[in-house]
């Protein structure tokens, strides 16, 4: 079984691409909706949350966990890999940032814009990963209002269009950005508003590229690849009924029965320096 972890609903859009690419695999999704949003959290707290949620998925029987949340991938992925997937471990933790950076570099002619949460932007992770791949210029913008707008289901409203336009007018002011990396799992829901505000800009959603990378990774690591029956199990730390209702928008189909799990499944251990 493959685990997918996100701060809330947004990662269900990532899961949709993963299940399309791997229809015979079983997945267990954990949305930490009881503690979302993550974008304004301090790194110490995010490391605690990451440990707790990844351990929950391991307890559910997952040997591979995909961290779909951009904020968590930027802040905690390396720590989670060192803690749980080191030499001799039979578990692996994968993230979204490198596939996203690779896709943006392939699409860009030279100047990449990144919109994301404040914590993702402050981490500098996308800037670092993109610069490893080429001489591209990178300009970031924290867009704190966009994820809550999507959470409310307002992506097709004037509120969403005005917020997107205000953020992009600032980001694109010098006219040289040719590619925009959507650095939050909620933002693909805003693609029509983004495309209207910035016609001609290439938009990069990391999710389909993450799915491609996972397929290739499983080919290279067959010990972690087990065919199943396409079963989907969904867990959340918030209200399961609300999660099922809102989550269907992201997954593109009704969710199975959503199971509530405790927000503090393990004792908090997180510190920036272990």
Q: Which residues are catalytic?
A: 69, 184
Phi, psi of 157 (to 5 degrees): -130, 165
Q: How many residues does the chain have?
A: 274
Tokens standing for 219? 């080919």
b/e code 115-154 from CB counts within 10 Å (16+ = b):
bbbebbbbbebbbebbeeeeebebbbbbbbebbebbbeeb
Tokens standing for 223? 């010990």
Helices (H), the chain: 11-21, 43-59, 70-84, 97-107, 118-123, 125-133, 146-151, 158-171, 191-197, 206-220, 240-251
């Amino acid at each position: 079984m493959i685990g997918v972890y996100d701060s809330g609903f947004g990662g269900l859009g990532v899961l949709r691409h993963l299940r399309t690419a791997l229809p015979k695999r079983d997945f267990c999704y954990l949305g930490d909706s009881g503690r979302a949003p993550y974008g304004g959290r301090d790194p110490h707290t995010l490391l605690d949350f990451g440990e707790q949620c990844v351990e929950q998925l391991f307890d559910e029987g997952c040997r591979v966990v995909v961290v779909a949340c951009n904020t968590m991938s930027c802040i905690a992925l390396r720590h989670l890999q060192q803690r749980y997937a080191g030499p001799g471990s039979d578990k692996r933790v994968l993230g979204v940032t490198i596939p996203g950076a690779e896709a943006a570099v392939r699409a860009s002619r030279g100047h990449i814009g990144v919109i994301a949460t404040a914590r993702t932007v402050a981490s500098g992770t996308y800037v670092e990963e993109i610069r490893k791949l080429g001489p591209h210029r990178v300009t970031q913008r924290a867009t704190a209002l966009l994820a809550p707008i999507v959470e409310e289901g307002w992506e097709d409203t004037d509120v969403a269009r005005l917020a997107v336009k205000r953020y992009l007018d600032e980001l694109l002011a010098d006219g040289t950005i040719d590619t925009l990396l959507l650095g939050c799992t909620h933002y693909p829901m805003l693609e029509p508003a983004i495309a209207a505000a910035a016609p001609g800009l290439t938009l990069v959603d990391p999710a389909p590229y993450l799915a491609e990378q996972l397929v290739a990774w499983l080919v290279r690591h067959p010990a972690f690849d087990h065919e199943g029956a396409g079963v989907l199990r969904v867990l959340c730390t918030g209200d399961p009924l609300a999660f099922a209702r809102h989550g269907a928008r992201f997954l593109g189909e009704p969710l199975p029965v959503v199971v509530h799990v405790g927000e503090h499944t393990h004792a908090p251990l997180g510190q920036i320096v272990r």
